Structure 1
Amino acid sequence: MFKPEMIENEKDFSCSQGHNLPVVTIALDPNISMNQRLLCTECLENTDLGAKVVGLKKIISLIEEGQIKKMEKVQYLVTSQIQLIEQLHCLVDQMKSLAIQQFDQSISILKEWIQSLQQKGQQYRYSFQEELQIMLQKQNKADDQLQFLTYEIQQINHCLTSKLHPKLEQFNTFKGYTKCKELLSNLELSSQKFNKSQLQEQGFQQQPNDEKQVIIKKHEIRLKLIDQSVKQLELCKVIVFDSSGSIMISTQMYDIKVWSFLNGTIKLVKTLQGHTSWIQCLVYSKKQNSFISCSSDETIRCWQQMNQTEWISSQPYQEHTNFVRCIILNQNEDLLFSGSGDKSIKVWRVDFNQNQLTFLYSLDKHNDFVTSLSLNQSENQLVSCACGQNEIIIWERTENDQFKFKYFVKQSIQEYGLKVKFIKDNQFIWITGGKQIDKIYVFELEQGVFQENQDKTIQLTKNEQIFDEYCFPIIYNKERNLIIVRHKTYIYIIREINDGNYKIQDQLNCNTYDIYGAITNNGQYLVYWDDKEQGYSIYELLNQ
């Protein structure tokens, strides 16, 4: 059984009086600070207590019982899904002799699946102090950590289903195929039922699922659908374009696909292989026919075009110790910044001519995995955000051209976000990523510090059912005054109307969670992949 782990060590607790005696009692008074609630034997003798006190062991036990009950829900979900996966394992193993190589690969996927689910359940941790605060104040708030854990389990299921599905499809006439599909369907249904039960516990209401639509009013930009004929069953998480808009790069799980792009139509040119896990981000050079990729395999690669159909990869560069989730280049394209699940930002020297990177130094201040990076136009400041509350950091370039930690940006809400983007030297935007708040917040430089301008906050379509995703970053096209924001099931077209105020011009509801895309550098075309269409949708952005 999964067992939650308390972050703090009981032996490290000390009273506010500095008596150097073990803490034995907790004062249940929500109006005093956390440290003042911790009492040793000498505190009990010398302090006039007006609040109820409870033994430390007792309160630890009560909190631990609550955490165990939460983990029982996750345990039930993981156990039931593992049972279904093990049934899949047995069926695939029976068919193994008919196609040894394909089914051996399928079995490896299933083992990876089980291991990923088990590891996810074992990562659950909680804070004694935070849980005590919730208990004392009798807060009835949504358990974001549990919600995010179940969301990540669903993402694992989605990813591994995408890997397994094409292998099984090759044998759709075999006995046992129908049963495999049934088990995969049951697996998805069990996740949906569990998630629905959690939503009902927290009083969430299902929102209507409108048909996919483009909301077009009397705006300066309208979207015209060009093509949806190119299909791809496997997940695509990233799309980028070269500077001319004639080459499009996308992903297919571990692979990179190179397409020719002409007048809103795409044609596959080449599939590139090298990464050994999901590709998370791509960045294309605006000066050369080269791009850089990063992956869940913890590595970064440079890719250089040799001729119309041939590309070469650099060695895999590994300085991170977890998924590499985001990368950006500076304007001169001699520096690369990479953010990772190891909570760090790495800075690299780039040499596209030699198709290589050189690691320079690390920026380490975040408390959770880094999901988004952006340089201001002067490139003397870097903003980053991580998947946690109050996790926006400003880094400043020093005289020796190295970036150093400046400060955490103060926020008015306790919510995490996954995407941040500088729009001007003195302004950046940040998007909420949780279930409770659906807004874009604008931060502006005031007296040398970035501060939230609440008057400029942009309300997005409310959706309390799902989290946002970081793999479709904010796109800003200065020439056309365009900001493209993907948030939950929507893609928004936003423009500045005056003095740093912004307005949503159009929005496209894709009615699905998995949406990943980009626009051409001239802002003429929007291309995205989504799992509802299971293919690429190409729109032209027209001036009305």
Structure 2
Amino acid sequence: MNQCCTIGDHGVNVEFICLNQSCRDLRVFCFKCLQNEKHNLHMKDVHKLRDYGKLFENNNQSNVFEDLERNIDYVNTLFKWLKDEMFNSNSLNQEEIEYLNIEQLHDYICSFIQMQSQKQSILGIIQKNVENLIQTLNNCISDLEFSAMGNPGKKIKSELSNINYDLINESEEQQINSIAFNLDSRIMIAGYESSTIKVFDFIDGEVKLNQEIKLHKKSIYCVYHMKKTKEFISGSCDKTIIIFQQGDDQQWNLKQQLEEHQGGVNCLVVNKDEDTIISGSDDTLIKIWTKDNDYWTCHQTIIGHQHYISCISLNETENQIISCSKHPQILIHQQEINSKVWVLLQTINVSTWGRRLCFINDAIFTFQPERKEQLHVYEFNSKNNQFQLTKTIPVEIGTCRIKKRGCFWFFPQQFIKEKQILVNKNECSVNLILVNQDGQFITKQSIDYFTSGVFGRMTDDGQFLITWDDISRKLQIRQLKQ
């Protein structure tokens, strides 16, 4: 920390800290302060500022918690033993009772009644002590929370990790279903319900229309801008995928049209090398398209879903695909190394179907069940080579002004690796969730649009969130403020 001592005529950087509980002097000070006999009555509590972190490495708080955890484990063991005794001891089954004579049965019933009374007494004593323990813990937590209200360390940590996207610009637009950006986020592609595609310049949160394209016959459901080439692709309700290329005149023209789907194309994923397109459709099929000599062909058709495909995600290594549909299942496919064929690796049955999922990394993906206020987190278990549900994260659902509406498609989950932010639209709310180094999911901001008809995307650098909703009927641009 290269900061000068607050005593003006000292003019040197602070070097020391004081941890004495009774000290009333400034706790961060320089060598000249020390020479002036500040803190001389408790020098044992004066430490070098650079050693601050080491002072707490070997504190006995961790030992106390270890002792408490051992005691809790022992209490759990005793409780299990007590439970087994109460349920299993001195109990006879129906067959054994039928072999008793009257006197034996009388004695057994008396013993049983007495045992029940003892059990109630024991449970009452335990319950009272448990309530005392709960009250003690609540009091301790309240004391800590009260003490932390003015804790600058907690405040600083909160400020450092604060995430907030503020509205900086908006403009009237017809319904936009999908948005995509090029590598540096200076070109924005928007796919419209009207079947139009518009290409915008996107500079510092301002949009300027460059070109309107009307080649699709029906609504645009998904768009993706290539990162390595001046090309973008679009999927439409008209069952086609079109690859567009920018010419020397800066205008975008049709390069190739893919027509093998038998239903609307709902989602598109492209690999990093941009030689593979993965598409999901209303026809319940996933198609793998590969490029050879700059020409795209269908390499493989994946079956298995029982309803129209709602979302696809490709993992970081790009050897696994997760997909969901309007059916309570998540399918995981893996590419075989030699044949390059994708095969079913795992089927996860879920209680509620969902429209959105996303890989966070190779070992973790998230899934948003329809109309639920929890985000599901799945993690890979190396022992059985399966993904398993490990946690549920509370997420906002928002307030819908139009009743009995579904969540709507076309706003896929998006993980911004640079900022470690997961963008998760759920009903009427867009939840911005920070994934920290400990694997915790912390909702930092929830934007309520008061309608489930909201569509959008975040720029790949995490600086801007762009949405369109059917209440404001505006293209809204929000910028990250930290």
Instruction: Pick the TM interval, shorter chain.
Output: 0.5 to 0.7
Q: Does 1:303 align with 2:239?
A: no
Matches within 5 A, 1:96-111: none
- Aligned residue identity for 2:207: I
Partner of 1:460: 396
Matches within 5 A, 1:75-154: none
Q: Does 1:393 align with 2:334?
A: no
Distance in 2 of aligned mates of 1:250 and 1:462:
25
Give the alignment's Cα RMSD to 1 decimal: 1.8
- TM-score w.r.t. length of structure 2: 0.63
Q: Deviations over 1:428-477 (max 9, x none)?
A: 000012x4x232100000121000013x4334337695422220001111
Contact 2:398 2:427 in 1 (8 A): no
**1:461 is paired with a residue of what secondary structure?**
coil
1:350 positional shift: 3.1
Choose 1 or 2 for highest CA Rg.
2
Contact 1:440 1:460 in 2 (8 A): no
Q: Looking at both structures, which has the greater relative contact order when contacts are Cα pairs under 8 Å and sequence separation is at least 6?
A: 1
Contact 1:469 1:487 in 2 (8 A): no
Partner of 1:382: 321
Q: Deviations over 1:339-368 (max 9, x none)?
A: 0111110000136x84x4211110001111
Partner of 2:185: 245
Distance 1:420 1:226, change over 3 A: same
Distance in 2 of aligned mates of 1:257 and 1:246:
14
Partner of 1:364: 303
**1:409 is paired with a residue of what secondary structure?**
strand
Contact 1:304 1:313 in 2 (8 A): yes
Q: Does 1:349 align with 2:290?
A: yes
Q: Does 1:472 align with 2:411?
A: yes
1:306 positional shift: 1.1
Contact 2:420 2:436 in 1 (8 A): no
Matches within 5 A, 1:11-30: none
Match of 1:220 among 150, 159, 162: 162
Distance in 1 of aligned mates of 2:268 and 2:409:
12
Distance in 2 of aligned mates of 1:409 and 1:345:
17
Matches within 5 A, 1:260-339: 260-307=201-248, 309-339=250-280
Q: Which runs of 5+ in 1 are unaligned?
A: 1-216
Partner of 1:439: 374
Partner of 2:53: none
Q: Deviations over 1:385-417 (max 9, x none)?
A: 11111x200101112112111121243xx2110
Distance 1:311 1:227, change over 3 A: same
**Higher strand fraction (1 or 2):** 2
- TM-score w.r.t. length of structure 1: 0.56
Distance in 2 of aligned mates of 1:263 and 1:531:
25
**1:281 is paired with a residue of what secondary structure?**
strand
**1:471 is paired with a residue of what secondary structure?**
coil
- Aligned residue identity for 1:424: N
Q: Deviations over 1:115-173 (max 9, x none)?
A: xxxxxxxxxxxxxxxxxxxxxxxxxxxxxxxxxxxxxxxxxxxxxxxxxxxxxxxxxxx
Contact 1:410 1:451 in 2 (8 A): no
Distance in 1 of aligned mates of 2:408 and 2:230:
29
* Aligned structure 1 segments of 4 or more residues deviating by more than 4 angstroms: 462-465
Match of 1:430 among 357, 362, 367: 367
Match of 1:450 among 384, 387, 393: 387
Partner of 2:471: 532
Distance in 1 of aligned mates of 2:439 and 2:406:
27
Give the number of equivalent residue pairs: 317
Distance in 1 of aligned mates of 2:398 and 2:467:
22
Contact 2:398 2:448 in 1 (8 A): no
Q: Which runs of 5+ in 2 are unaligned?
A: 1-157
1:483 positional shift: 1.0
Distance in 2 of aligned mates of 1:337 and 1:462:
31
Q: Deviations over 1:268-319 (max 9, x none)?
A: 1100111001111011111111111000100100011114641111342111
